[in-house]
Structure 1
Amino acid sequence: MSPHIDTRITDAVAASAIPLRGAAAEYDPLLQLIGNARFVLLGEASHGTHEFYRERARITQRLIAEHGFTAVAVEADWPDAYRVNRYVRGNGEDRDSDAALSGFKRFPTWMWRNQDVVEFVDWLHDWNRKQPSGATRVGFYGLDLYSLFTSISEVLRYMQRVDPEAALQARKRYACFDHYDRDSQRYGYSASVEAAASCEDQVIAQLHQLQDRAFDYVRREESDAAEAYFYAQQNARLVVNAEEYYRTMFRGRVSSWNLRDRHMADTLDALSQHLSHTTGKPAHIVVWEHNSHIGDARATEVGQQGEWTLGQLAREAYGDDAVLIGFSTHHGTVTAASDWDAPAERKRVRPALSGSIESAFHHSGIERFLLPLKSTNRAVLALSEPHLQRAIGVIYRPQTERHSHYFYTRLPRQFDAILHFDETRAVVPLEPTGGWHAGEAPETYPEGT
């Protein structure tokens, strides 16, 4: 492993990068790289950076307007995102984007309840409203699996409407979780140490019952029957996978990580099949997730430890129909927490470590750029060996940055292209907490706190 990025790499990046200067057509080279791909996975190097949200929105808007993409699938829970889906498609009861996003109450709320997401949801709503009658509306969907109890409630609500008698049996099955006070981790711990506490058989039985009665349930509904059934079925699938996820999270990182990313890949595939069947033509979907999910794990040290990712699974399933685009930054501010379930803070992002990909990008002297990685160029050749890459999730701990936020990767194998924004700033939460303030984080932060 190279301890420092040398001038050979920096010069190669400078020679191969395409500067971004804010022009309307600046993403033309990226759209050419995407071509006719049906799945475009857009990453982020943190869950709290304004530029990542804004630029993903700009790219997505062009894919929708110019390439016929009809769905945005994000790293969010299925029922919460589906509430937004109803709103942007003109079917919900929410009065505005802020209200539609109010279902995101679980930590980290700022990840989807921030000003950039509101602006994008506004755009989706307006875009759909302007489409002619009969045109396909663009949807907004969640791929994640944390919503165990919310999804249970949604399945029961659906069952009560279409089959009250079967709903009684569903309530008995899901009553297995009643002892855990809607605490998913408490359930997972109990089920992992005491097999008798597991609700695995009950949730699988409920999913099978729902699938077995699919024809009857869709037939007896008067309107939007297939869509309502699909929503309920995905919630029942989520309950099955979430139950297993919370049991495995106490057994080791790799098994729970892989189960989660497999669930997201399966949900993406189910969504693609559903939309393709509904519209009569292959679905085109944009995915918004963290780099650590949309990058190909086989290019990284965590992949060597046995982890796989949504990006890897998408490449394996769809080949060239899946394009993986990463994002990076060198320094700035970020909205993140210091611990799980802790309040959001506006933190200063330290300059990237020497020897990292971000450091090489910084020293290229180009503040914002697109770096294509599919074709052979000087940068692809220079970055073919493993180098450090930074990943900030919902938690940022600068005090242990090397251990907490860096791993080795072969960038040209991880992504098809990467977008770099040298200095970035934090997203603005819709409900800033006491730890998040309007001014810049002090230079001494976090050492001075």
Structure 2
Amino acid sequence: MLDLSRERRRMVDVHLRRRGIHDREILAAMREVPRETFVDPGFEEFAYEDGPLPIAEGQTISQPYIVAFMLEMAEIGPGDHVLEVGTGSGYAAAVMSRIVDHVYTMERHAGLAETARRRFETLGYRNIDVRTGDGTKGWPEAAPFDAIVVAASGPGAPLALQQQLDVGGKLVIPVGDDPDEQRLLKVTRTGASTYSEEDFGAVRFVPLIGEEGWQEDNRIRSSRVSPLLPARSLPQMIAAAAEPLPEFDDPAFVEAFDRFADRRIVLLGEASHGTSEFYRARAWITRRLIEKHGFTIVAAEADWPDAAAIDRYVRHRPPSPRADMPFQRFPTWMWRNAEFAAFVEWLRAHNEQIETPASQAGFYGLDIYNMRGSIAAVLEYLDRIDPEAASIAR
């Protein structure tokens, strides 16, 4: 039997975590559940590639990222009761079962439902119930649900599913009148008869067949689905996701970034590219991550030999013998400002209090603007480390 545990870990690290999936329980569950068990024979070696794979009945097993993304949207957690519509291979239900209290999963193809049931039994996943039937009607006797995840695209969100949500529950479903223009929708039940909707962008799923979905033989929509909200533009989605921040001198400003303390890399970007407000915000955030959370690398969009001059200064090392002054080429305006100078002085003072050089925070450039300066820096290094290689390079 193939041992794909390393590929499974790589899938989580590369295809999920690096693409923005941060829910630890989802990541842990997908690191545990063997996806190769849920693909058809002959496809095991492709189980951890980030793409859908064909299964029986003309259906597919969704790509790992979209499974993780939908579960993160559904905000599932321990103690939850979750309904899945579209069991398919059973993989998503298996992942959810490692997180929530109980999973109810529905599949209209009896063969797929039975295969999934056997897989759950083999793996010892005993908190999953499987039913064959019309998933658009839901599972009324098991309702209300904390979350409902639909793995097929309907013309809208079935009313039966919305009504089976608990207050605060989430329904995640791909919707769209055109099979080539589907949107991933999250419906939240906000009250006894009130709901809110969020649009998470374009997706592609197999059709949701059922009384409150599409008909089997032709794509006629049921009247028992909610009308779709107009698709939101990218600026509208950004505005909806944006968080207001307090003033820089308010302790709550830097505290807002403590949520990233466990990340290996934190990226700071903005749209203005040169305002005093951005430079001040970047400095305060970076200081917080260094002082409070032990970050030791500041990497900037700067010419790397020029940044190395700053690095030597902030770490109290002797200057380079290079004759030319750093930051003489584009983009000088990004670094010749009072805000950046103040940050450099702070970083130097911070490092002065740290006895171990390896624990000091360094400043590094990630770009090349001055080719001549870069060549000179490489030759200078080779002169010290490998003179023969330096001679060849010249």
Please classify the TM superposition score into its range, dividing by the shorter chain length: 0.3 to 0.5
Highest RCO, 1 vs 2 (Cα 8 Å, sep ≥ 6): 1
TM-score of the pair, normalised by structure 2: 0.37
TM-score relative to the length of structure 1: 0.32
Q: Which of the pair has more CA radius of gyration?
A: 2
